[in-house]
Structure 1
Amino acid sequence: MVKLPKDKRREQLLDAAMAIVRENGADALSLVTLAAKAGVSRPVAYDHFSTRAGLLVALFQRLEEQYVQALRNALDTAPHELGTTADLMSGAYFNCLADLGPEAPAISAALKGSEEMALQQRAMIGEYVAIMCQALQPFANMDIKTLRLTCIGLLGAAEAIAREQQEGRIPEAAAIDAFSSLIAKGIGR
């Protein structure tokens, strides 16, 4: 076993964990299978994640960070107009889901009912809402509390549209168009 700095070892372990989920599904992921796949001792895996739920939450956080970065990058390039901002937000949301592949829903499903996952999802929604509010506030004809609630509703709609798309009932382009339209209509003056 090669000695790596703790942050590099953690990334290596997360890469190995993602490979296990990709190859065998989330049910096959444990700290023991992770240690074997990564070529480290069990105590190394336990030192980084403590529990299977901790490992799954860390994987989920990694995927969420990728989405948040994609959304921020898209918004940084946006011209200052509602339609373009809505298109970029929607595109970032659905492109990220496509880029993440089936691992994200598998990880999320493995954590259903977990208090750690519930906390992570609340934090994630709070971060998304803050990003959306900041990007959409210049176009909104509402106070910040109403805008926040509107953004929460828009995210709920995006999740419902994503389920339709992931289950093959609508193409990705239709999902992007629908969410973009909802943003523009929900925020428009």
Structure 2
Amino acid sequence: MTETAHPQSQGTSESTGSAQFSRGVRLPRTERRAQLLAAAQQVFAANGYHAAAMDDIAERAGVSKPVLYQHFPGKLDLYIALLESHVDSLVKAVQGALSSTTDNKQRVKNAVGAFFDFVNGDAGAFRMVFESDLRGEPSVQEAVDRATSASVDAITETITADAGLDEEKARLLAVGLVGLSQVSARFWLTHHSSMSRDDAVALTSTLAWRGIGAGFPLQHP
């Protein structure tokens, strides 16, 4: 199934920015959905949820409002879909960091790095996940909570398998690592002036490793 975006009206300014999407282009449904999410990301990042308008998102994507509503019945549905995609990206990054090596010291560093990369990537993405202004909305809170809980689950499984700890103790350590990584990454992004991403990750992961690696050595090398 393909859809056609509405043609650009004569005299329309390009002042909407370089990220304005092409109009009049037929796209498969999955590609159109991805395009709409990208346009929504730009509008939400610029205006926040409450000031963002579906008209603006449709205009940014280069489609008519009916096309936008075919994919997302309302602004909240669009916001949650975008939020879920960001959460998925973070969780996959953490899982990938843990599975990329069997060296536990490197695993800690990679996991910390996953949070720094997420925070240092699309600012609108990490703000939606960690600083959402819709936390009172249950579906939003559920997605936000999953960003932490799924990351904690992945790290808990690794610590339980490698450090010989029971799940309760491993989960507490995992919560600590996730909290340390997330807060440190957000602080670094806001306050860093000369410290590189690699230096910040190394410093944070060293703190975590000296606690986890030294205190709970590998039980079965």
Name the TM-score class by shorter chain: 0.7 to 0.9
Q: After superposing the two structures, state which structure 1 stretch, 48-57 or 6-15, moved more.
A: 48-57
Shift of residue 13 of structure 1?
0.3
Taking structure 1 as the reference length, the TM-score comes to 0.81
> Which position in structure 1 is the counterpart of 2:212?
186
1:51-110, Cα deviation, whole Å (9 max, x unpaired): 3222222222222222233333333321x232111111111221222123x212443434
Instruction: Compute the displacement of 1:183 (Å).
Output: 5.0
Asked if the contact 1:133/1:147 (under 8 Å) is kept, the reply is: yes
Partner of 2:114: 92
8 Å CA contact 1:86–1:184 kept in 2: the answer is no
Question: In 2 relative to 1, CA 13–85 (structure 1 residues): closer, same or farther, beyond 3 Å?
Answer: same
1:103 aligned partner: 124
Report 1:97-136 matches (<5 A): 97-100=119-122, 102-107=123-128, 108-136=131-159
1:184 deviates by 5.1
Distance 1:161 1:130, change over 3 A: same
SS at match of 1:156: helix
Structure exhibiting the larger radius of gyration computed from Cα positions: 2
Query: Is the 8 Å Cα contact of residues 97 and 114 (structure 2) preserved in structure 1?
Result: yes
- Checking the alignment, whether the CA contact within 8 Å between 2:36 and 2:68 is kept in structure 1 is yes
Q: Decide whether the 8 Å contact of 1:31 with 1:42 is kept in 2.
A: yes
**Of residues 75, 95, 100 in structure 2, which corresponds to 1:52?**
75
Residue among 73, 82, 90 paired with 1:67: 90
Give the TM-score taking structure 2 as reference length.
0.71
Cα contact 2:80–2:139 (8 A) shared by 1? yes
Q: Answer yes or no: is 1:30 the counterpart of 2:56.
A: no
The 1-side partners of 2:44 and 2:206 are apart by: 31
Report the alpha carbon displacement of residue 3 of structure 1 after superposing the two structures with TM.
4.6
Question: How does 1:5-44 map onto structure 2 within 5 Å?
Answer: 5-22=28-45, 24-27=46-49, 28-44=51-67
CA distance in 2, matches of 1:176, 1:128: 20
The unaligned stretches of length 5 or more in structure 2 are 6-24
Matched, 1:174 2:200: yes
The answer to whether the 8 Å contact 1:82/1:184 transfers is no
Deviation at 1:164, TM superposition (A): 1.7
Contact 1:137 1:147 in 2 (8 A): yes
Letter in 2 for 1:12: Q
Percent of matched pairs sharing the same residue: 24
Contact 2:55 2:65 in 1 (8 A): yes
Aligned residues: 186
Gaps of 5+ in 1: none
Q: Tell which has more relative contact order, 1 or 2 (C-alpha 8 A, sep 6+).
A: 1
Superposed displacement of residue 127, structure 1? 1.4
Tell me the C-alpha RMSD between the 2 structures.
2.6
Q: Distance in 2 between matches of 1:146 and 1:185?
A: 14
Which amino acid in the other structure matches residue 103 of structure 1? G
